[in-house]
């Protein structure tokens, strides 16, 4: 196995997933981005997608949706906080309503205590139960907040 | 008039305003902080107040409130964006729901286009009409979002 | 003239400029990045280049170089500070020695007072003399600091 | 022992340390700040000190010094990155030359891999050997860079 093999395997596993287009964000109420870190920022692939959103932004269609973010890094302190911040800054430009998890559930503490969003130290191991619980909490809370905002 | 005079005048003008305590944040649904910048961060006075909030935070009473922020600086690019970011990072620790204005109204563009919050270049002049409109928009939008969240 | 025309003209004007490769950063002592903002971050094009630097980073060849950054945005407060911060975060991962200009010369104040780096409000007008002076100052200072670091 | 006891003990242990004044930063070539996090920012005590530096800043005496920062938090991802960023933003206002450690030594990886500065998860245990090595490396590197800058 060489270094490219996991990449290729992942590519095959996800080959059936349609590539995101700006239209995917148009008629939704909640948006969650997850990206590994690249030197403390999001990957250029997700930034390339973000750069296609200018037209949608111009129509106001990105505003007033909820937004939260998740990330991973190879080192515990290798961008797990800063990468999330760069995504929240982006969402502020959209007029998003930001729903980072804070410490709104004990699972946040159990999974490393990142108040900005679920973040994983990517060491080749499967996600821990605490990490999974933290991810589920962040998503459920965002959905709950979104439902309240859209109920009226 | 020496440099201390405006400071003293402001102190006298605000002498009747009670000093904030942690209890002031306990039973509210929306929180908005406004602070001039000090080297790209909030003033130590407001940070001193923030440092008293640990107990309230520990009870979970700071969570799930909406939060937005405003600022001012002497230079157009002298911390008007970064100061707001430091306050949003803080609010993420609380489990706040962040409501920066984005570009959700034309008044944002007219007042300098700061999507993170109203921000003023403090040059001794009174607030412009555009700045006032931008401040009003940010507050109204936060209240509207807060009402929806608390309606149920 | 439609919206694509300036883009195409710029592409033709710069067609002779060789595309950057990781090798371009290997044997240099000072690095300066300049990018327009995209929602408070760098363009995906420059992030795509950054993503090719992992190998060079792994050899340690990116460390101990000086780094500074410049940017532009359509609005005065539309990411002119935050975009620069995302680039400095990136450079910290490299082990760079950061040389943002601060307020080390009066030209900084004259051009908007951005201590993080020269930043322009892109409104279709040519660069002002103050902006040009600010850019020159940032570059000269970085070179001066770099020379001292490499003199021994 | 109640919760105030460690605080009091620390106060007694440090009673002989003179309180910092702006003059302490005037004739030095290298500055390193270390602060525990408070909701992703520095403590109000150190921010209060920072707020006294306006006069010194106005004379230009804070410029062209090297600067780096360290921090601690109760949770692994509870502000160990963002707190350092707020201090670097501040130092950029001073015209400082920033020397975060990056990954310039294997000890960085061994102590959690924070490229922005040494950071500790404060759990009541003494500093680990890896943490001490990481702190020593950051300081030595800053001194080495400072020496080169001031040699001429």
Q: Which residue(s) pair with A135 in the sheet?
A: none
Please tell me which chains touch C, using 3 or more CB pairs under 8 Å as the contact test. Answer: A, B, D
Q: Is B128 helix (H, G, I), strand (E, B) or coil?
A: coil
CA distance A102 to B32: 18
pLDDT band at A113 (very low <50, low <70, confident <90, very high): very high
Q: Among all residues of chain A, which has the CA nearest to that of C83? A: A86
Mean pLDDT of A37-51: 98
Looking at chain B, which runs of residues are DSSP E strands? 30-36, 66-73, 97-98, 119-121
Does residue C152 register a pLDDT over 80? no
Does residue B95 register a pLDDT over 60? yes
Mean pLDDT of D15-35: 96
The pTM of this model reads 0.96
Q: Which residues of B touch D54 (CB under 8 A)?
A: 38
Q: At a CB cut-off of 8 Å and minimum separation 6, what does D6 contact?
A: none
Does residue A43 register a pLDDT over 60? yes
Q: Among all residues of chain A, which has the CA nearest to that of B81? A: A89
Min CA distance, C112 vs chain B (Å)? 5
Q: Among all residues of chain B, which has the CA nearest to that of A103? A: B95
CA distance A24 to B126: 44
Does residue D1 register a pLDDT over 60? no
Termini Cα distance of chain B: 55
Tell if the CB–CB gap between A81 and D76 is shorter than 8 Å. Answer: no
Does residue A124 register a pLDDT over 80? yes
Tell if the CB–CB gap between D50 and B43 is shorter than 8 Å. Answer: no
> What pLDDT, on a 0 to 100 scale, did the predictor assign at position A2?
61
Q: Is the ipTM of this complex over 0.90?
A: yes
Does residue C95 register a pLDDT over 80? yes
**CB-based contact A119:A71 (threshold 8 Å):** yes
Tell if the CB–CB gap between D81 and A76 is shorter than 8 Å. Answer: no
For residues B11 and D50, the model is more confident at D50
pLDDT band at A3 (very low <50, low <70, confident <90, very high): low
Q: Count the alpha carbons within 13 Å of C113 in the hemisphere toward its beta carbon.
A: 16
Does residue D4 register a pLDDT over 80? no
> What pLDDT, on a 0 to 100 scale, did the predictor assign at position D3?
66
CA distance B115 to C9: 31
Tell if the CB–CB gap between D113 and A85 is shorter than 8 Å. Answer: no
CA distance C36 to C46: 10
Query: Burial, B58: exposed, middle or buried (Cβ in 10 Å; 0-12, 13-18, 19+)?
Result: exposed
Min CA distance, A51 vs chain D (Å)? 25
Q: Which residues of C touch D152 (CB under 8 A)?
A: 148, 151
C-alpha torsion C133→C136→C137→C139, nearest 10 = 160
Q: Which residues of D touch C85 (CB under 8 A)?
A: 85, 89
pLDDT in tens, B47-90: 999 999 999 999 999 999 999 999 999 999 999 999 999 999 99
Tell if the CB–CB gap between D97 and C99 is shorter than 8 Å. Answer: yes
Positive or negative: CA dihedral C140, B74, C97, C80: negative
Which H or E run includes C16? Answer: none
Mean pLDDT of D79-91: 98
Nearest to A148 among B93, B103, B149 (CB): B149
Mean pLDDT, rounded, of chain C? 95
Tell if the CB–CB gap between A93 and B115 is shorter than 8 Å. Answer: yes
Token reading at D77: 């991802």
> What pLDDT, on a 0 to 100 scale, did the predictor assign at position A10?
86
> What pLDDT, on a 0 to 100 scale, did the predictor assign at position D90?
98
Q: At a CB cut-off of 8 Å and minimum separation 6, what does C23 contact?
A: none
pLDDT in tens, D69-84: 999 999 999 999 999 9
Q: Which residues of C touch D98 (CB under 8 A)?
A: 88, 92, 97-100
Q: Among all residues of chain D, which has the CA nearest to that of B81? A: D89
> What pLDDT, on a 0 to 100 scale, did the predictor assign at position C123?
86
Token reading at A106: 């004990």
Residue that is written with structure tokens 């923030």 in the block: B50
Does residue D27 register a pLDDT over 80? yes
D34: left (phi over 0), alpha (psi -120 to 50) or beta: beta
Does residue A1 register a pLDDT over 80? no
> What pLDDT, on a 0 to 100 scale, did the predictor assign at position C3?
66
Tell if the CB–CB gap between D148 and C145 is shorter than 8 Å. Answer: no
| Residue C55 Cα distances to A48, A73, C46, D107, angstroms | 21, 16, 17, 20
Q: Per CB distance under 8 Å, which residues of D are interface residues toward C?
A: 57, 60, 63-64, 85, 88-89, 92-104, 115-116, 145, 148-149, 151-152
CB atoms within 10 A of CB B76: 20
**CB-based contact D91:D58 (threshold 8 Å):** no
pLDDT in tens, D51-64: 999 999 999 999 99
Please tell me which chains touch B, using 3 or more CB pairs under 8 Å as the contact test. Answer: A, C, D
| Cα D34 from chain centre | 3
> What pLDDT, on a 0 to 100 scale, did the predictor assign at position B124?
86
Nearest to A102 among B94, B100, B149 (CB): B94
**CB-based contact A70:A99 (threshold 8 Å):** no
Mean pLDDT of A94-102: 98
């Amino acid at each position: 196995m060489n270094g490219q093999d996991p990449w290729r395997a992942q590519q095959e596993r996800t080959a059936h997933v349609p590539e995101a287009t700006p239209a995917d964000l148009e008629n939704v109420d909640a948006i969650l981005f997850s990206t590994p870190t690249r030197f403390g920022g999001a990957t250029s692939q997700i930034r390339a997608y973000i750069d296609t959103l200018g037209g949608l932004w111009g129509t106001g269609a990105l505003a007033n949706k909820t937004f939260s973010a998740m990330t991973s890094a190879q080192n515990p302190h290798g961008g797990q906080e800063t990468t999330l911040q760069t995504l929240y800054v982006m969402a502020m430009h959209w007029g998003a309503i930001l729903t980072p998890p804070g410490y709104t559930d004990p699972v946040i503490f159990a999974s490393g205590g990142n108040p900005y969003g679920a973040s994983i130290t990517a060491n080749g191991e499967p996600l821990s139960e605490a990490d999974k619980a933290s991810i589920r909490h962040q998503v459920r809370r965002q959905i709950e907040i979104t439902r309240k905002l859209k109920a009226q």
